[in-house]
Amino acid sequence: MKKSEKVLLGIFAFLFFAIVGGGGLTYAFRNYMAIRNENDSLRDRLAEMNLAISQGADWAAKHGWLEEHCPNFTSRQEASSKLLEMIAGEADKIGLSIGGKEFLDEVRVLGPDGLPVEESLGYFDKAAVKITLAGVPEKSFYAWLHALQKPQSFLGITRMQINPSGSNKSINAEVEFTQFYREKSTPKVSKVN
């Protein structure tokens, strides 16, 4: 072999090892970083799981309270009628006259199969009623709202619009109440032989 061939062979060998070695190092570095990121995510997941396990008794107690206190109705119509009875009863106690009552239908997102999408269902079912009041005393109105809205009853005000009526601190109002509940299934009747 000539000296120039040896030099060219040396340069070729150097370039070959530089390219192959550089590619190998790049591949190894990418794999190392992927494994490192996966270890970090697994470490975070393990910390979340340990936290969830340590809080298990608290969440079990909260679930027990929820099962004990959450209202159960067989249908949205039953829940709506009970909600309206409760609202009207509290209004009668305070002496408010309810002008308009309207049951509101729950808007559910339907999937391509025509069934409600699971994400839109949530944990609770809900019934809503819109109440219209005209010319009611402001103080009585707020006492009525305070008497109705209690976390223990799973009842809340989801929308409210108040306008002054122009005389004696009286107001016109439109209030939407929502009752959250869990729909209990009706027992199936079976034939006994």
pLDDT at 160: 94
Q: Are 54 and 126 in contact (CB under 8 A)?
A: no
Please tell me the pTM assigned to this model: 0.61
C-alpha dihedral, 30 to 31 to 35 to 40, nearest 10° = 0
pLDDT at 173: 92
Q: Which CATH architecture has domain 71-183?
A: 2-Layer Sandwich (3.30)
Q: Which residue has the higher pLDDT, 120 or 63?
A: 63
Tell me the HSE value of 2 on the side-chain side, using a 13 A CA sphere: 3
pLDDT band at 185 (very low <50, low <70, confident <90, very high): low
pLDDT at 38: 96
Q: Which residue has the higher pLDDT, 176 or 125?
A: 176
- Please report where in the chains the tokens 């109105």 appear, as a residue: 141
pLDDT at 114: 73
Give the mean model confidence (pLDDT) for residues 33-46: 95
pLDDT reading at 115 higher than 90: no
pLDDT band at 189 (very low <50, low <70, confident <90, very high): low
pLDDT at 184: 77
pLDDT in tens, 6-31: 888 889 888 888 888 888 899 999 99
Residues sharing a CB contact under 8 Å with residue 108, sequence separation 6 or more, in sequence order: 116, 117, 120, 121
pLDDT in tens, 84-105: 999 999 999 988 888 888 888 7
